[in-house]
Structures are given as structure tokens and as C-alpha cells.
Structure 1
Amino acid sequence: MKKPAQDTGKIARSAGTVGVAVMCSRVLGLIREQVFATFFGAGFAFDAFVVAFRIPNLLRDLFGEGALSAAFVAVFSDYEANKGEKATWALAGNVLVFVGILLSCLTLLGVLFSEQIVGFMVEAGFESIPGKVALTSLLSMIMFPFLIFISLSSVVMGILNTRGRFFVPALAAGFFNLGSIVGGLGFAWLMPRFGQPPIVGMAIGTLIGGLLQLVCQLPALFKAGFVFMPQLDLRHPGLRRIMKLMAPAVIGLAPLQINVLINTYFASSLAEGSLSWLSYAFRLFWLPVGLFGVALSTATLPVIARYAALKDMANLRETYVSSLTLAFSLTIPASLGLILLGEPITRVIFQHGSFDSLATARTAEALACYAVGLFAYSSVKIMVPVFYALDETRYPVMGSFLTMAVNVFLVWLTIGFLQHKALALSISGAMILNFLFLSLVLYRKLAGYSLRYLFAGLGRVLCASLAMGLWLAGVQIFVPLAQSSFMVSVAALALAIATGSAVYGLTLYALGFKELTMLVARARQRFA
């Protein structure tokens, strides 16, 4: 049990490193969303941007944080452990060339058929608004090449993560947001001089951000010993294995993204601004998913892949259970916090300029509905790569189809009376079902794992979360978070978050949560 404990500490430290970088990136991401909220609010222009970015962003999530990254890391780890340096870099060069060509072809198709793609994604109510489809199509054409930069970036990220370098790849998304903000605002200021609306400038800024995300990782890549061996060998066994893993994983790893695409169609039939409310809420929701789910998944995947390559199932099981328990300890209190503090968080971050109090209320409603499924979203991001490491990709595919069917059914059942909230709540419900399905299958595929350890940790997390929830409810009674002064509102919200986190952490430590007590003990040793 010593080795898994060491790996738990290593994963926690790596996840912490990734988490710091992700936090910086997410803060810049929130600033980017603030720019949209301040200058465009929730309506015509931002609705068009949301729809236009949906397809390249869906493919980004698949390739950037999903199928390509997971499949590449699994195979690259195997080559690094068993094939030698030259074969490993040859595989990396082959994959980079192949991905560049493949995504260039997809981008060209997206640009040529952008109008048809937009028409397929939206309902008649969206199309009936004069100029909205034309603007959406133009924005889509501009942003499609973003897919090339971000997919190459994901391969570079996989190489660096496998080499034990996590900080720079995680921070790279911050360069995307920085480029989007600075470049977007600059071009938004210029566009009216060329007869184009300012939102077109934000689309150009998205391209600039994607390029920066790739370029900023290159120094770290070459420092890690990378030797570029450009070739295109479609018969290369490593590339064929990656494609074999990716083919079902493109669907299996992305039920969330596919459901978001389906929900875009439903949302386009609702009141103008619904797409914007859901998008702003999803950005707030994605902060803890990225901070906890993506960080833990990124740190866990190389360890899981190494154990799978070595056929060390005992250590693989222990590492997986510990990572999942750690995910619960981070996402469950975060979910409760978003539900209880959703409106003041939305108000402080977004309610400026064109973003009014109605948009705040509607966005907070959607955020609470998304937050219900936070633990499932983050846990699935840890679970699915385990299937890839085991070369078992059919089950995530089955879970994906099940999730999509449940999502569509729940939306159809509830959209009449819940309106935009139905779309967020249905995705959460469907993802929870996917989590339960994959949990049952993975338990069987791993020949069991310690449920006692998992449920003991979960029980402590729930008790500590309850204590935090009661504290936050009391804080909102005695310290109203809706203040007339912006700075006072920020201070009150910061106080609520800080004290709530402290109550949760202290309660969890008092209850003897193993992962936390181990990290505290190691911190004491380091600073003693």
C-alpha cells in the first residue's frame, strides 16, 4: 500500500500544480466573459457568438481535453516505457503531422459549409430574427481555424504531461484567454471602421488566443528533450492504436459536449438571451470542473497509463479510488457553494455595463442547475481515461448514447415549465446517470476496488459539506451579500467563500479524511 500512497501524494501535488495554473487561466477566462458581458450583454450579438463557437468548441473539447489527449498519452506512455527514445519521438512527430492535416481538412469543410451548419444547429425562432443567422455564419467561418491550433496544442500538452511537466500546459489556456481579450478588444475597436460589428473582432481575438496557446508551450517542449521527426505514416502501429482508441472515444468521452450541442437547438427556441444566460452560467460552472476535474484527470492519467502498461492492476485500482475520493472532496462542496452563492457570484462578476439584473437572476438559476451534476462531470473526467488505459472504449460510448437519450427526454419533459433551466438541469441529470453506469462497469472491469474506503471518504465529505452549507446559510442571513457598493459586495462574497472553505476544511480534517491528513502531515514535514 506504500506505492499507491506515494502516488496519491504525487497526484495531489501534480493536481495542485495544475490547479494553480488552471486557476490563473480560469480567472483570465472569467475576465474574458466579463468583457463579453460588459460590452455585449445577453442578447443578439452574444447569442450569435455562442452558436458560432459551439462546433469548433465542441471539437476543441474532444481533441483538446478529450479523445486525442487521452488516447495519445496512453500510447505515448507505453512507447516511453517500452520502445525507447527514438521510437517515442518518431510517434510524436507522426501524430503532430497527421493531426495538423486532419484538422486542416475539417476546418476547410467547416468554413465552406458554415451557413448549413448554423442552420442545422438552430430552431426557426432563431432564424426568424433578421441578420442573426448571417452574423452567426460569419463568426463561425472566422473561428473554425482555431481548431487547428488547439488540437496541436493538445498533443504538445500530452507530451509534456507524460514527461511530468504539468504547469506550462495548464497555464497555456491562460494565454488563450489573454489573446482573446487583448486581441479581441483591439479588433472589436477596429471592426466598425470596416463596416463590421464589434463582435467580429472578438472572433478574431479567439484565433489569436488559440495560436498563443500553442506557441507558449513550445519552449517547454524542446526543453523536455523533444526532437521533431516529421513524417506521415498512416500504417505506423502507434498512430493506428491511437486512432483505434480515438474512434469510439470521440463519442464516448464527450456526452457533455454533444448534449450541449443538442441543447443549443432547444435553447434557440426560447426567449432571446437564453443562449447567453446558459453560456455565462456554464463558464462559471466550468471553473471548478477545470480546477478540480481536469486537474485531477491530467495528473492521474499518466500514472494510470503507466500502471496499465506494466499490467500492475493492484496499484491502478488503489490510485483510481484515491483519485475519485479526492475528486468528491473537492467537487461536492464546490457544487453546494455554487448553489447557495450563485446569484452574488454572478452579480459581482458579470453585472456591469450591458449585463442587467434580469440577466444575473436567469444566469444564477442556470448555474444552480448545472452545479447539481458537478461531482459527476468531474468524476467522469477521471473515469473515462481509465477505460482508455485499459483499451476498453466501448463502455464510454454506451454511456454516451444513454446520456444523450436521457438528456433529450428530460428536456422534452421539462422545457415547457422550466424554460432555460430545463437545459442545464437535464444535462446534470444525464451526466449523473452516466457516472453511475460507468462506475458499475469499471468496478467489474477492475475486478472490484475498495468500496469501503470510497464510501467512508464520501461520508466524511458529505458531513463537512453540510457544516459548510449551514454556515453559508447563516452568513447570508447576518451579512447580506447584495450590497449597494460593488467593493462591499466583493468583500462580503469573499468573506463568505473564505469562511465557508475554512469551515469545510477544518471539519473534514477533524473527521479524519485520509487524503487531507496525509497532505497536512507532508506539509508539516516540509516546513518543520
Structure 2
Amino acid sequence: MSENARVTKAAGVVGAATFLSRIFGFVRDVVIAWFFGAGLSSDAFFVAFRIPNLLRRLFAEGSLSIAFIPVFTEYLTHHGKEEAFHLARSAMRLLSIILVITAVLGVLLAPLIILMIAPGFTDSPEKYSLTVLLTRIMFPYIFFICLVALCMGILNVLGHFAAPALAPVCLNIAIIFSAFFISPYMADPVTGLAIGVLIGGALQLTLQLPFLIRKGFYFWEKAVIFHPGVKKIGILMLPAIFGASVYQLNILVGTLLASLLPEGSVSYLYYADRLVQFPLGIFAIATATAVLPSLSRQAAAKDFDALGNTFAHAMKLVFFITVPSMAGLI
């Protein structure tokens, strides 16, 4: 199978799984809107959920995967699977330590964080207190989702795309489940959604584990935390973080301004953003996820002609789908 055919097939798998995830995501948003509408509770939930989601997009999907995949591919190509897995275990252990510290700090500093990103909520002590509570419940989600991003990178390089692409379905199902079966029993029903986010994060990580083990990756084997490849990953993450932060800054500013507007504004902004993200996630992100391992293999082999051809093919796929989607949304 040619590289272009492999990319197209992988993009199809990821796109189909992402489409399923987006359908469940749409159902999730309908359920949230049905139960909570656009008001105090939904505003508090969406702002609180925005924080771990922002960190996920900035550090997990936005930079960690982009930096990890090329380095992991390079080790796999030039040093063999055993050394590549050693690198992955080292990155996973160091990342786990950093994430635990980040989660603890996030829980402790939640009041200050909400004050910074949603200053308008201070006008309503009830909304502010609820947002802080939800942030503290959901902040540990960043621990699960960043490890999920690392696991997804490993599986994608090894040619397995289905389980990583289906991971978000777990989150959506968990939130839908929590809305029906946990929220009714909570003093403040919206806290049930926050618990659902944590359950979803744990399920996303759990889904990846059997497939990693099937590929021969065992977490418990020996690894040093400060592996040379980990340092290289960290260096590559810096420009990726900068690039991803531009878009995330727009989201933060939008959230900040919406918090100053009448109640429900944050919810309206969230629902509109979800609609725009629908075609982006299905087509553009699916193609990018599928093509990055191929580009990394070709770069590691210094086959720049093939790399250019693969990149051009991926761009054609994206334009073929997203331009009509853009016209349809308008």
C-alpha cells in the first residue's frame, strides 16, 4: 500500500470515529441544554470545563502529541522498538509527576483562576462559588487527558488509529450518563456533569491500555525519568505551545468578555463554538492525526520527496472537504 493510500485509509478510520464522537458530542450538548439551558448553572459548568479543556488543547493535543510523535518515530526507526518504548515510558512517568502537581495547584488556586478568566462572575457570589467548586472537581481531568494524548501518539505511530479516535466517545457518554443518573441525586445537579467529566477521562485512558499492551508496551517495565529523548520532546513542545496558545487566547478572551454580559452568554458562546468545531474535528483534525505519523517516518528516513507528496495529498483531502463545509455553515 502506498503512503498516500495509507494516509487516506487512516484518515477515513479517524474521520469515521471522530464523526461518531461528534454525534455523541452533539447529543451531549443537547442533553446539557435540555437539563440546564443557558443560565447560571450552565455558565458555571462551561467556564469550569473550559479550563481543563484549554490545557488539553494547549499541552496535550496542541503540543505534546506534535512533539512526541516525531521523536518517538525517530527512536523507533533508528534505535528499535525497545528503546522507543523506553522513551515513551520515561515521558509517561515524568508527565505523570508534572500532571499531579498541576492538578493539585489547579484545585488550590481555583478561586484565583476563575477571577482571572471570568471576572464578571464575581457580581454573583452564587455563580462564582459554583464555578470554583466545578473547577476543583474537574481540574484532575487534565491528568487523564494528557496521558491519553501520549498513549494516542504511541498507538498512532504503531499504526493503530481506531481506539485513540474513539476515546472522546467515552467522555461524551459519561457526561450523558451523569446528566441522567448522577445529577438528579446531587444537591446542585450540575455537579453531576463535573463528576461525569472525571469518569469520562478515566474511561478514555482505560480504553487505550489494552491496545498498548497488545502492541507490546508495558507501563511497569524499567525506565529513567530523564531520558535524552524526553528533553528533545520538551524542546519541540515550546514552539508548538506558542502556536496553539494564539487560538486558545482568543477563547479565553471570549470567555472573559462573555462573563461580563447577561446570564447565559457564556452558554450561547459555547453552543455556537461547538457547531463550528463539528466539521473541523471530523475532517481537518482527522487528516492531521492520520498524516503526522507518516510525515514523521519520512522525515526520520530523510525521504523529503515522499514527505512533500504526502503533505500535498493531505492538504488536498482537507480542502476537498472543508471548503464545502465552510460554505454550508455560512
Q: Provide the TM-score with structure 1 as the length reference.
A: 0.61
Determine the C-alpha separation between the residues in 2 that align with 1:185 and 1:71: 39
Any conservation in 2 of the 1:188–1:199 contact (CA below 8 Å)? yes
What secondary structure sits across from 2:263 in the alignment?
A: coil
Any conservation in 2 of the 1:73–1:159 contact (CA below 8 Å)? yes
Once the two structures are TM-superposed, the CA of residue 180 in structure 1 deviates from its matched residue by 1.8
Structure 2 equivalent of residue 145 of structure 1: 140
Amino acid across the alignment from 2:277 = W
Once the two structures are TM-superposed, the CA of residue 94 in structure 1 deviates from its matched residue by 0.5
Determine the C-alpha separation between the residues in 2 that align with 1:222 and 1:266: 46
Residues 1:231 and 2:223 are matched in the alignment: yes
Determine the C-alpha separation between the residues in 1 that align with 2:278 and 2:222: 36
5+ residue gaps, structure 1, are: 340-528
What secondary structure sits across from 1:31 in the alignment?
A: helix
Determine the C-alpha separation between the residues in 2 that align with 1:132 and 1:323: 45
Residues 1:162 and 2:157 are matched in the alignment: yes
Any conservation in 2 of the 1:127–1:133 contact (CA below 8 Å)? yes
Amino acid across the alignment from 1:199 = V
Mark the structure with the bigger radius of gyration. 1
Amino acid across the alignment from 1:146 = Y
Give the counterpart of 1:133 among 106, 128, 133. Answer: 128
Determine the C-alpha separation between the residues in 2 that align with 1:63 and 1:161: 18
Give the counterpart of 1:112 among 100, 104, 108. Answer: 108
Structure 1 equivalent of residue 7 of structure 2: 11
Amino acid across the alignment from 1:180 = I
Once the two structures are TM-superposed, the CA of residue 35 in structure 1 deviates from its matched residue by 1.1
Structure 2 equivalent of residue 347 of structure 1: none
Give the counterpart of 1:252 among 243, 247, 250. Answer: 243
Residues 1:50 and 2:46 are matched in the alignment: yes
1:355-504 correspondence runs (5 A):
none
What secondary structure sits across from 1:233 in the alignment?
A: coil
What secondary structure sits across from 1:253 in the alignment?
A: helix
What secondary structure sits across from 2:182 in the alignment?
A: helix
Determine the C-alpha separation between the residues in 2 that align with 1:172 and 1:239: 25
Any conservation in 2 of the 1:268–1:274 contact (CA below 8 Å)? yes
1:296-307 correspondence runs (5 A):
296-307=287-298
Moved more, 152-161 or 265-274: 265-274
Once the two structures are TM-superposed, the CA of residue 230 in structure 1 deviates from its matched residue by 4.5
Determine the C-alpha separation between the residues in 2 that align with 1:257 and 1:130: 27
Amino acid across the alignment from 1:168 = A
Query: Are residues 27 and 230 of structure 1, via their aligned partners in 2, closer, same or farther at CA, if it must alter by over 3 Å?
Result: farther
Structure 1 equivalent of residue 195 of structure 2: 204
Highest RCO, 1 vs 2 (Cα 8 Å, sep ≥ 6) = 2
Determine the C-alpha separation between the residues in 1 that align with 2:181 and 2:239: 41
Determine the C-alpha separation between the residues in 2 that align with 1:71 and 1:203: 30
Once the two structures are TM-superposed, the CA of residue 17 in structure 1 deviates from its matched residue by 0.5
Query: Are residues 284 and 7 of structure 1, via their aligned partners in 2, closer, same or farther at CA, if it must alter by over 3 Å?
Result: same
Once the two structures are TM-superposed, the CA of residue 113 in structure 1 deviates from its matched residue by 0.5
What secondary structure sits across from 1:227 in the alignment?
A: coil
1:250-329 correspondence runs (5 A):
250-329=241-320
Once the two structures are TM-superposed, the CA of residue 213 in structure 1 deviates from its matched residue by 0.5
Determine the C-alpha separation between the residues in 1 that align with 2:148 and 2:180: 24
Structure 2 equivalent of residue 61 of structure 1: 57
